[in-house]
Amino acid sequence: MTLPLTGERTVPGIAEENYWFRRHEAAYLHLIGHCADAVVLEAGCGEGYGAQLIRTVARRVVALDYDELTSQHVARAYPQLNVLRGNLATLPLRDGSVDVVANLQVIEHLWDQEGFLAECHRVLRPGGTLIVTTPNRLTFSPGQDTPLNPFHTRELAPSELDEMLREAGFRVDELTGLRHGKRLDSLLNGQIIDAQVEVALSGAPWPAELKEAVESVTVEDFDITPEDMDTSLDLVAVAVRA
């Protein structure tokens, strides 16, 4: 059974959600090499598809989520994962017990982001890796500090994420940005995000052209580069525990 689409998490296998799913999948594929033969905690695993992707290269993956229904779904859908239900504010793992913490499109949902990063630092072994993605505040909620997405508590600009990671005791090895590639930039005159938001807010049926465009999106339609970070869509960071 597929989890219901609430807007809080990305769910695979839904045509209208394909743009967001592929956008997130592109980041997972970019970062997955850091998880090879590692014990990985995905902190905030959501539906579980990302943890399952990581499991294809990792030695072991602990998939952690706070929501009971979500945790039950992940355990049923992805039996290769070790599923835990718990609060990200107090990670239910021992000190220095994992090689990698993956936190993709989650930190913007947390009230105490600094406390969460301190917990990541605690459960990582010395030299362990934290991989993070999060929407770029400058493009996701432009011109305001309050997030447009009602499920987000605080969004970050590139410099803010970099500073927060360093203050938590991490060395930032990569800070890049995910953005549309050439095909997406031209699809629907570059308005594929705005068109989806407009339909979602209006509750109107999806226009055939928009649905076809969204269904056509693949991971190859996104680029991840360090250039012009302030205009990127999502921030992608790799940080190492000192």
Across 112-156, the runs of DSSP E, i.e. the strands, are 124-135
CATH of residue 113? 3.40.50.150
- pLDDT tens for 104-132 read 999 999 999 999 999 999 999 999 999 99
Please state which of the ranges 24-33, 118-127, 148-157 shows the lowest mean pLDDT: 148-157
Q: Which of 82, 168, 84, 87 is nearest to 122 (CA)?
A: 168
63 in any annotated domain: yes
Mean pLDDT for 15-19 is 93
2 in any annotated domain: no
Structural domain of 126: 15-241
**How much is the pLDDT for 85?**
96
195 in any annotated domain: yes
Task: Give the Cβ contact number of residue 225 at 10 Å.
Answer: 12
114 in any annotated domain: yes
231 in any annotated domain: yes
Domain count of the fold of the chain: 1
- pLDDT tens for 52-88 read 999 999 999 999 999 999 999 999 999 999 999 999 9
**How much is the pLDDT for 222?**
98
**How much is the pLDDT for 213?**
96
pTM: 0.94
